[in-house]
Amino acid sequence: MTRISRRIKALIGVTAVLAGSLAGCGLDINTALPFKVLPGTIQPMDGLKGLPITVGSKDFTENILLAYMAELGLSAAGADITDMSDIKGSVSARQALIAGQIDITWEYTGTGWINYQGNTDPIPDEREQFEAVKKADAQQYGIDWLQYSPLNNTYAFGTTAAFAEKNNLKTNSDMTAFLKEHPEQGVFCVETEFASRQDGMPGVQKTYGFTPAEIKTFGIGTIYSSIANGTCNFGEIFTTDGRIAGLNLHVLADDKKFFPQYNVAPTLRSQFVKDHPQVRQVLEPIAAAIDNNQMIELGKQVDIEGRDPGEVARDWMVSKGFVKVG
């Protein structure tokens, strides 16, 4: 696989074919929202009453939690929700949005800028990165980004706290120096997509100048446990993942600032936002209320404590006063 952006552009050209096969995108069809909620600070809105809205997500805990938050808020506002969370892969979620198979998905500014827009250089400033990807997506794909969140879930390499302490590893540069002395220790666990993404292994290897001894590919959920149990010494992690705390992992600082900004925001087709502007009033306050520390805790509840993500999202929405339960 080459760059995701090239695959995206090729896939857009066959949208008509893809639209006939939801299963090909890894979507489950017509899944009802599992919880009933009552209005809190999110009140019923005439423009959303009875409106069918399909919410999708990618296939990792944080994005699934965000999807449930959106679904619960929109349900309280009166919309008729279909849940299509847990779509397999960024490409499938993106093409589902473009093709109209889903109406809303939460996306990350770095992913949009590099993997969908095909840029190679990230923009270091959060606001500038957001404005650039927002403008490009509206012009090229008819996709609107609502106001972005302080939640910034970028990539990092993780190792166990014990391994980091033993080898004095605090940064990616420390890791690079260590691997020059001990090249056989360079066993990395990453997901398949990250192994070939421009903002993944190829780019970070070039920036820091290290060569892995071995790259093992797993689903993102398996990588954390693979680091913890010694299957690999280093692994791709997300900086807001609850398993960092739950498995006593150590995050290596990206001291050369390679990884892009990954602030999250709801994305929708531009025409959908134009037709139903009330969705902005529901989703933007939710985006503003969630941050990295809160998401680490919510993710820990799901991935370490084994709670259902829908229940965790519901409890968070209730704690913020957005919705109530009877």
pLDDT values of the chain reduced to their tens digit, one per residue, 326 residues: 222 332 233 233 323 333 333 444 444 454 667 778 999 999 999 999 999 999 999 998 999 999 999 999 999 999 999 999 999 988 999 999 999 999 999 999 999 998 899 998 889 889 999 999 999 999 999 999 999 999 999 989 999 999 999 999 999 999 999 999 999 999 999 999 899 887 789 999 999 999 999 999 998 779 999 999 999 999 999 889 888 988 999 999 999 988 889 999 999 999 999 999 999 999 999 999 999 889 989 999 998 899 999 999 999 999 999 999 98
> CB count, 10 Å around CB of 106?
27
Rounded Cα gap, residues 192 and 207, in angstroms:
20
Phi, psi of 157 (to 5 degrees): -95, 140
- Per-residue pLDDT at 29: 52
* CATH fourth-level superfamily of 4-152+262-324: Periplasmic binding protein-like II (3.40.190.10)
Domains 4-152+262-324 and 155-252 share a fold: yes
- Tell me if residue 250 falls in helix, strand or coil: strand
- Per-residue pLDDT at 85: 94
Structural domain spans, the chain: 4-152+262-324, 155-252
8 A C-beta contact, residue 61 and residue 242: yes
Q: Which helix (H) or strand (E) holds 18?
A: helix 15-19
Give the list of residues 6+ apart from residue 19 with CB closer than 8 angstroms, or none: 99, 100, 101
* CATH fourth-level superfamily of 155-252: Osmoprotection protein (prox); domain 2 (3.40.190.120)
Q: How many CA atoms lie within 13 A of 262 on its CB side?
A: 19
Rounded Cα gap, residues 28 and 6, in angstroms:
26
8 A C-beta contact, residue 190 and residue 204: no
Rounded Cα gap, residues 203 and 189, in angstroms:
16
Q: How many residues does the chain have?
A: 326
Tokens 């809205």, residue located: 53
- Per-residue pLDDT at 238: 87
Phi, psi of 18 (to 5 degrees): -65, -35
Strands 323-324 and 38-39: antiparallel
Q: Which two tokens stand for residue 86?
A: 């847990």
